[in-house]
Amino acid sequence: MNLRQLARGKPCQVRAPNVCNGDRETTVLAHVRICGISGMGLKCPDILAAWACSACHTFCDSNHEHGRLLLLEGMANTLAILVNEGIIVAPEVEHRRPKLQKIVPRRLPPHL
């Protein structure tokens, strides 16, 4: 599945206050920039991106601190939608805490 093509026509998940234009026609896959994952000669994987309208994408690219946080939140929102729609399948958690079979009373100290 091409996540870049899938972003077309989707609602913006970055939703920067007083910036977002909400225009689904301009939605693209906006990639996060993380040192060691992207940069000179390193292409960020499409999974590390958010659906962003043109205004939010520009805002995130130009506003270092607040834009970066909004883009990360948008990435989490985008991933949640992709999982809920079955486009990305999340593996089951193998190491779940086992349920207690019975409740064992605590031993009281001998002096009580």
Catalytic (active-site) positions? 31
If we measure between CA atoms, which residue out of 27, 20, 21 comes closest to residue 5? Answer: 27
Structure tokens at 70: 């909004």
**Radius of gyration for the alpha carbons in the chain, expressed in angstroms and rounded:** 21
Query: Cα–Cα distance between 112 and 110 in angstroms, integer?
Result: 6
Contact yes or no for 32/43 (Cβ under 8 A): no
Strands (E), the chain: 28-31, 49-52
